[in-house]
Amino acid sequence: MKKMLQNRVVILAVSTVALGLIVGASSALLSLFLELTEKVFLGFVETAARPAATGTSALQRFLSVTIGGVIVAVSWYWLRNKRRQTVGITKALSGEKMPFLETVLHVLLQIFYVGTGGSVGRELAPREAGALFAQQWEKLLAKLKLSALTESDGQLLVAAAAGAGFAGVYIAPLTGMLFAVEILLKKFSVKNVVVSLVMSVIAMFVGATVKGFGAYYLVGDVKISAAFLLFIVIVAPICGIIGAIFRKTFQWAERNQTHDRKILWQLPLMAGLTGLIAAVFPQIMGNGRALAQLAMSASSLKLLGLLLFLGLAKAVVTVFTIRAGAAGGTLTPAIAIGAVVGAATGLIAAPLTGLSVAACAIVGACAVLAASQQAPLMALFMMVEVSHLSVLMLLPLGLAAALSAVSARWLLKKSS
């Protein structure tokens, strides 16, 4: 019995390190694939300093999203009507097997569509890739007759690898760990935290060979004051309500997602609509990074109307893009919408309070993310990690995440 336990611990440790390297490499390759797609279709590569394709022509932006939408619509229609259909992370945790080639294609299509300007998050793709490689690793261990892992160990590896996929793309290991433990496993234990965190840290270092360690969002110094905390107490619950509505609409879109032949016209139609808006406002494109950065950089009240329009447009376009058949994440779109809400209220309050609009945008982003994902810890540490914020921001952002999550839970329970 003792020897079996030792073997299990050793295999789990080796699996954690191996999967960290494998998933990190897959995340790095997905980042390179995104850059290649952006170069080919838009002639630019996004950075924190230049997250939107502002240097390309309006026609090129329109054609990029529209052509991308046609390609993924045909590809997803073919893929979803195959005998072996793709399996999501939740089903993979319950033991269903993810078909290898189909899942790889599904992952690449998500990154491709975001690269052409499609309005969905790209964080689902590396998570699905991580879960796939975890299952393939378990399969390899079984073939070599080396597996002494239990069913719960297998679930842990799948969840941890999904979180590590996120960490490898966004260079955010704590977020990757919390995604695995808080959202997927829903159980904090020493083993769950250690395995997930170690795997995410390894994936982060591998992913950073391509992405580097720079901030994903540029925020600058944020000063904490009594006025800032009062702002959070007032605005965070409102963001929680917005986040809850956002969550409900995304769930509606996913439940009613088009899988039949209608995807061949519905998804290109939404791509074309996205392209029309992007022809004038390129910040609408992609996973929401450009819109969030615009909100965090806003300094004039003249931008209020533009921000509110883009925030509403981003929410509507993203929801109906998923409804039309696109696969993609919702974390970064939620951050963009939250940043708009925070920046809009910050622009109004700044003349009276002296508050930093960037700080208000970060609060809104954290609050809407916490509410929409019902994961306050993950939202808190994600905003700190991807924005390279001071640890002093844990207090105000923690307050924002808690208040928004509570108000969102109240609304979700009331409407259920």
Domains of the chain, by residue range, sit at 2-211, 226-411
Q: State residue 211's pLDDT score.
A: 83
Give the pLDDT confidence of 238-269 residue by residue, as tens digits: 999 999 999 999 999 999 999 899 999 999 99
Q: Which amino acid is at 90?
A: T
Report the percent of the chain where pLDDT is more than 90: 81
Q: State residue 149's pLDDT score.
A: 78
Residue 111, judged by CB atoms within 10 A of its CB (0-12, 13-18, 19+), counts as buried
Contact 28, 170 (CB under 8 A): no
Q: What is the DSSP string of 256-283?
A: T---STTHHHHHHHHHHHHHHHHHH-GG
**Whether pLDDT at 221 is above 80:** no
Q: What is the DSSP string of 321-380?
A: HHHTT---BSHHHHHHHHHHHHHHHHHHHHHHH---HHHHHHHHHHHHHHHHHT-HHHHH
For the question of whether the overall pTM of this predicted structure is more than 0.85, the answer is yes
Asked if the domains at 2-211 and 226-411 fall in one CATH topology, the answer is yes
The pair of three-digit structure tokens given for residue 301, joined into one six-digit string: 């009240």
The Cα-based distances of 211 to 31, 48, 169 in angstroms read 7, 11, 7
Class of the CATH-defined domain 226-411: mainly alpha
Q: What are phi and psi of 43, to 5 degrees?
A: 70, 25
More confident residue, 319 or 226: 319
Stretch 369-389: mean pLDDT = 95
The pair of three-digit structure tokens given for residue 342, joined into one six-digit string: 């925070």
Sign, CA torsion 265/267/273/276:
negative
- Give domain 2-211's CATH number out of 1.10.3080.10, 3.40.140.80, 3.30.465.10, 3.40.720.10: 1.10.3080.10
- pLDDT confidence tier of residue 168, bands split at 50, 70 and 90: very high
**Whether pLDDT at 179 is above 70:** yes
Distance of alpha carbon 272 from alpha carbon 278, whole angstroms = 10
Summary mean pLDDT of the chain: 93
Q: State residue 416's pLDDT score.
A: 67
Q: State residue 412's pLDDT score.
A: 84
